[in-house]
Structure 1
Amino acid sequence: MAARPEGTPCWVDAMFTDLEGAKSFYGDVLGWTFGESASEYGNYTQAYADGKAVAAVVPPMPGQEGVSQWCLYFASPDAAATAGRIRDKGGEVLMEPMQVGDFGTMALARDPSGVVFGVWQAGVHEGFEAPPEQPGAYCWAEVFTRDPGKADPFFAGVFGYGQKQMQDDAVDFRMFDLGDTTVLGRMRMTEEFPPEVPAYINVYFTVPDCDAAVQKATERGGVLRFGPMDTPFGRFAAISDPQGANFSVIDVTRTAGEMPRSTAVT
């Protein structure tokens, strides 16, 4: 596989206090299967959709227990250089670039508006193996922030994104592009979000039937936060899993409405 362009979402993982519970939940809702836990890497456990790696789950390290959240990683040819730009653009490096065996090099960071994300310099582990349209695969992600004035120039500055603003009076939504490819969205969090909910990146996983996935998730203790709703991109719903991690499910085959208009931002 050719190296992903810098700034391309390339992997997701999450810490779960109840690792077996998380595996059972996502196995039911997204159809994931799981590999062996890598004890030398803190019981890091990969998830697979139809045999292709799509995500990972891991128990928290001592002192890191808390509400679970999915972490999105962005591809980088040089994690140390990316970490330098993160600092230069006003972000915070939470974990310095660290080599993970021959798999690659990772770093963790926080943008000036509070969004935590990862950086991944691929070694033998290149990231997602499944295409976004495959059920169970990562499909899309959006930065949810209360301060787009800080988040937008930061992500564009670190990863060289082009920017387009959606022409919609109802929502403040921006898209980040690498060349002709839109790779990330940004949504302004409104007063509808409780103040205790921090800024975060919401990840979308593809499902063959959005309503069936929601039903299964809620039966298993998940909480429906929004939807299901038909859009030009697919029918989607936002969910919190039983351990508090937010994610969305989307059926990309069921679309409705016209694509929204957008304007380039310079």
Structure 2
Amino acid sequence: MDAELPDVAAGRRFYGELFGWSFEEAYGSSVWALLNGDRVASLAPKSDGRMPTVWTVSFAADDAAALGRRITAAGGQMVMAPFPVGDLGTAALAADPEGAVFGLWQAGRHPGFGRRHEPGTFVWAELYTRDTATANAFYGGLFHEALFGDGSEPDFGRAAVTDVFPAEMPSHFLAHFRVTDLDDALGAVQRLGGRVQAPPLETSYGRVAVVTDNQGASFALLQR
């Protein structure tokens, strides 16, 4: 999980207060977000001001180049070809057939984040798409365990973008972070300069609200 932000220092203040994260230097100008000493996310400066301010959901890859070839063969595209991130690992950026963007991470010295499903950490990624059949086939072929389970707690779901949503809304992933008290967390988001995009609603996986941070990156808060 990583956020690309115009101002990493402002991101540190926002997320440090909201989730209780501390921070340490990572690669280049990026920082690791830590919870009780374990890495749970990263914040990075946007390399191009024209790019959106976003949270990116990444999938682990044993071989990012080989998985990239499978993605293009299945109708997706590589937005950014695999590239080394020092000795930490290899990263890539891809899009599915409907245009939803996601990352790939081939671990080197950084195996991935040490905590999830706990308050203040990543708990769920929801894919919003207009063509659910295509999404099922695409992700089911690439990431079978992420969709259908390997015996561990699931991380990933898929929802249809219906007429309730604006027509211009593209397919996208929405990262969810777990909180203990959703109402308290929403109050903190607004106090810290963020805003509530969608008020709390009940879902099959918990009580959820969609928010943006103080720089416009969207994410969801989930109380289970």
User: Residue 107 of structure 1 aligns with which residue?
Assistant: 92
Check whether the contact 1:144–1:200 (CA below 8 A) recurs between aligned residues: yes
User: Residue 45 of structure 1 aligns with which residue?
Assistant: 31
Higher-Rg structure is 1
The question of 1:18 aligning with 2:4 is answered: no
Q: Matches of 1:194 and 1:231 in 2, distance apart?
A: 20
The question of 1:132 aligning with 2:122 is answered: no
Deviation at 1:31, TM superposition (A): 1.6
Residue identity opposite 1:250 in structure 2: L
Cα deviations by residue, 1:114-164 (Å, 9 ceiling, x for unpaired):
11001111111111111312x2111111111122232221111122358xx
Give SS of 1:117's match: strand
Tell me, which stretches of 5 or more residues in structure 1 are unaligned?
1-11, 163-175, 253-266
1:148 pairs with 132, 135, 139, which one? 132
Two-structure CA RMSD over aligned residues (Å): 1.9
Check whether the contact 1:155–1:161 (CA below 8 A) recurs between aligned residues: no
Distance 1:38 1:107, change over 3 A: closer
Check whether the contact 2:6–2:49 (CA below 8 A) recurs between aligned residues: no
Cα deviations by residue, 1:202-249 (Å, 9 ceiling, x for unpaired):
111111211111011012222212232345643321112232211111
Q: Matches of 1:154 and 1:238 in 2, distance apart?
A: 26
Tell me, which stretches of 5 or more residues in structure 2 are unaligned?
none
Q: Matches of 1:203 and 1:123 in 2, distance apart?
A: 24
| TM norm structure 1 | 0.77
1:30 pairs with 19, 41, 47, which one? 19
Residue identity opposite 2:114 in structure 1: E
User: Residue 61 of structure 2 aligns with which residue?
Assistant: 76
What does residue range 90-239 of structure 1 map to in structure 2 within 5 Å?
A: 90-133=75-118, 135-161=119-145, 176-181=147-152, 182-231=154-203, 233-239=205-211
Cα deviations by residue, 1:89-132 (Å, 9 ceiling, x for unpaired):
00001111112222111111000111100111111111111131
Q: Matches of 1:54 and 1:82 in 2, distance apart?
A: 24
Give SS of 1:23's match: helix
